């Protein structure tokens, strides 16, 4: 079983240190400690184990160190920042693992940008040597990029000329959408295996500046301190993120608030999330006193962990039914407190955490069906989860009434990857309805939920079990490839953002390319990388 939990004391590939408002996150990849046997992590190349630690570091800085304003990302090794994703690892991995690895890496990069956008936490990439592929894509996720001027170091995205694939963790999109690099120059850059060095890299907009080797560390620190001086202070004391306790076996995963039940024969899983029971913190100070045991933090960390296990370790489970339990009043009371104190730094981080986990949920390549049963609690953020699903089935049983409730967070504090709320996404053709529902925060019985377009279908107690069984069995019988394309296309309507392009466009193309013989066939570029024989391509355009 993959362990997605770690701690700086157990990092094998990163060194994290703090000095006042600055944090230093230095890449120090151990070549002999890969995630799986069969390859070495040379030249600070990375694999899933490296990225799990990076994701943990980003999360911990946000929650545990509110005093930090700027994070400097660099390398401990001379003349090398990062060579990108390990090629041997990619070549030996299954297609599903490559896809999920790229998605996890993407989400980690996006969490860095989310911290910059929503947490007043800026990031500087200090490239002290060669920076290639995913290493440069990590730099692109930062706010500013500085490259050492030593007549040797360059930035590059060599995937196209060397591997027959694409910069798969957002490189192409960030070049033109984020850094506004001219399209023709980006075209040249992405087909130069050797990359671009200092002065030209600055002229093209690939970096923000370059410093001589003798003054590199000094100049980067000076820039970090100047940037930190422009940012507001948040808090003096953070909260510790403790390890998540859960039980796991062939039947599933059981956490305090989250349960993931597996049915391999039916190729389905049941995801159940339980709400708070009362007595939760009411403001930022009380959240700081409670720590990560508060429901608003713990439940979403558990959901995030369960989703990662589902993606990487249960590839054939194609349909996930979403179930909720709890008291709507207690859940909405928590949300009202979060909404009221949303300007507090810790409350803001909790809301950002919930938003990121919701996005991971709807970016998961599984068919998602929400089931509102007699025992359900589809209120507030739980209703957001239902709106993130592909279908929402609601039971209509007068003897066991089901009610749904819109909460205060549905008006924009939990945005999707496309920048819209889930209500806006649901009612693209009727934005006034989305605004009315968000502002009035209504409750719905089954009939009202169907009439307002919140529920997909409403069934009475007589038909409920058969209708759900048929719907799930039918979905599980369809092509997983077709369903992945269908769901990804339908979940994110409206205008594109940088985030939605990375997942909806770049990831889709990258994943398709990974299955093509030109990349992963016996004579493909990824397979023949480092061998004397060149790759052989099928020259047809498709």
CA angle 301, 346, 114 (to 5 degrees): 70
Place of tokens 């560390």: 217
CA distance 381 to 405: 9
CA distance 127 to 139: 8
Is residue 493 within 8 Å of 418, Cβ to Cβ? yes
Cβ neighbours of residue 327 closer than 8 Å, sequence gap 6 or more: 275, 277, 278, 377
The pLDDT value recorded for residue 70 is: 98
| Residue 508 pLDDT class (50, 70, 90 cuts) | confident
CA torsion through residues 291, 349, 355, 330, sign: positive
DSSP 44-86: G-B-HHHHHHHHHHHHHHHHH-TT--EEEEEESSTEEEE--B-
Whole-Å CA distances, 529 to 135, 164, 165, 283? 18, 10, 12, 55
Selection from 487, 508, 503 nearest residue 106 by Cα? 503
Residue 505 pLDDT more than 80? no
Other beta carbons within 10 angstroms of residue 203's beta carbon come to 11
Token reading at 302:
């558990």
Token reading at 486:
């269908």
CA angle 254, 362, 429 (to 5 degrees): 145
Selection from 293, 272, 271, 290 nearest residue 281 by Cα? 290
Which residues sit opposite 320 in a β-bridge? 269, 368
The pLDDT value recorded for residue 58 is: 98
Chain-centroid distance of CA 11 in Å reads 20
The pLDDT value recorded for residue 429 is: 96
Domain ranges in the chain with CATH number 3.90.226.10: 8-229, 247-490
Each residue's pLDDT tens digit, 238-291: 999 999 999 999 999 999 999 999 999 999 999 999 999 989 999 999 999 999
Token reading at 132:
């290639």
Token reading at 164:
């027959």
Give the pairing of strands 404-405 and 443-444: antiparallel
Range 8-229 classified under CATH 3.40.50.300: no
The pLDDT value recorded for residue 235 is: 78
**Overall pTM > 0.75:** yes
Other beta carbons within 10 angstroms of residue 222's beta carbon come to 12
The pLDDT value recorded for residue 507 is: 74
The pLDDT value recorded for residue 506 is: 72
Q: Compute the average pLDDT of residues 18-40.
A: 96
CA distance 416 to 500: 9
The pLDDT value recorded for residue 509 is: 81
The pLDDT value recorded for residue 378 is: 97
The pLDDT value recorded for residue 489 is: 87
In the chain, the largest separation of any two C-alpha atoms, in whole Å, equals 77
| Residue 207 pLDDT class (50, 70, 90 cuts) | very high
Q: Compute the average pLDDT of residues 7-27.
A: 97
Token reading at 462:
């007589």
Range 247-490 classified under CATH 3.90.226.10: yes
The pLDDT value recorded for residue 360 is: 97
Helix, strand, coil % over all residues of the chain, rounded to 5: 45, 20, 35
Is residue 413 within 8 Å of 490, Cβ to Cβ? no
Token reading at 87:
């090629």
* Phi (first) and psi of residue 196, to 5 degrees: -130, 135
The pLDDT value recorded for residue 278 is: 87
Token reading at 143:
């706010």
């Amino acid at each position: 079983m993959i362990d997605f939990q770690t701690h700086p004391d157990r990092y094998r590939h990163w060194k994290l240190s703090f000095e006042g408002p600055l944090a230093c996150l230095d890449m120090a990849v151990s070549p002999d400690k890969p995630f799986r046997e069969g390859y070495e992590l040379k030249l600070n190349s990375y694999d899933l184990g490296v990225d799990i630690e990076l994701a943990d570091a980003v999360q911990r800085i946000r929650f545990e160190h509110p005093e930090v304003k700027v994070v400097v990302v660099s390398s401990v090794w001379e003349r090398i920042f990062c060579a990108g994703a390990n090629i041997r690892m990619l070549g030996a991995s299954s297609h599903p693992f490559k896809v999920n690895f790229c998605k996890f890496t993407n989400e980690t990069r996006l969490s860095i940008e989310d911290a910059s956008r929503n947490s007043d936490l800026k990031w500087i990439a200090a490239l002290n040597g060669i920076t290639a592929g995913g290493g440069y894509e990590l730099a692109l996720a930062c706010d500013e990029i500085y490259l050492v001027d030593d007549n040797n170091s360059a930035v590059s995205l060599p995937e196209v000329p060397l591997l027959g694939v694409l910069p798969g963790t957002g490189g192409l999109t960030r070049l033109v959408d984020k850094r506004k690099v001219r399209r023709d120059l980006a075209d040249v850059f992405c087909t130069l295996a050797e990359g671009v060095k200092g002065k030209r890299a600055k002229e093209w907009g690939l970096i923000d500046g370059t410093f001589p080797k003798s003054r590199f560390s000094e100049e980067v620190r000076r820039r970090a301190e100047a940037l930190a001086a422009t940012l507001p202070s948040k808090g003096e004391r953070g909260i510790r993120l403790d390890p998540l306790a859960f039980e796991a076996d062939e039947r599933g995963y059981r956490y305090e608030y989250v349960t993931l039940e597996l049915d391999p024969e039916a190729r389905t899983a049941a995801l159940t999330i339980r709400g708070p029971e009362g007595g939760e913190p009411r403001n930022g100070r009380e959240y700081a006193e409670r720590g990560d045991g508060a429901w608003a933090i713990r439940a979403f960390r558990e959901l995030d962990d369960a989703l990662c296990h589902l993606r990487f370790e249960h590839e054939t489970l194609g349909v996930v039914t979403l179930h909720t339990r709890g008291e709507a009043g207690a859940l909405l009371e928590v949300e009202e407190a979060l909404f009221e104190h949303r300007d507090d730094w810790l409350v803001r981080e909790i809301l950002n955490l919930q938003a990121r986990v919701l996005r991971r949920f709807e970016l998961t390549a599984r068919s998602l069906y929400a089931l509102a049963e007699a025992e359900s609690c589809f209120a507030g953020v739980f209703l957001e989860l239902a709106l993130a699903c592909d279908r929402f089935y609601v039971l209509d049983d007068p003897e066991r009434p089901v009610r749904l409730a819109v909460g205060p967070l549905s008006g924009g504090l939990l945005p999707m990857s496309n920048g819209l709320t889930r209500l806006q996404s649901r009612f693209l053709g009727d934005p006034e309805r989305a605004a009315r529902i968000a502002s009035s925060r209504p409750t719905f019985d089954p009939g009202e939920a169907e009439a307002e377009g919140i529920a997909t279908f409403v069934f009475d107690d007589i038909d409920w079990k058969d209708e759900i069984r048929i719907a799930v069995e039918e979905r599980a019988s369809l092509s997983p490839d077709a369903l992945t394309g269908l769901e990804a296309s339908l979940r994110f309507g409206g205008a594109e953002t940088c985030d939605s392009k990375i997942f909806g466009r770049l990831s889709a193309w990258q994943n398709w390319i990974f299955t093509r013989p030109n990349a992963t066939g016996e004579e493909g570029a990824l397979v023949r990388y480092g061998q004397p024989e060149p790759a052989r391509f099928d020259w047809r355009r498709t």
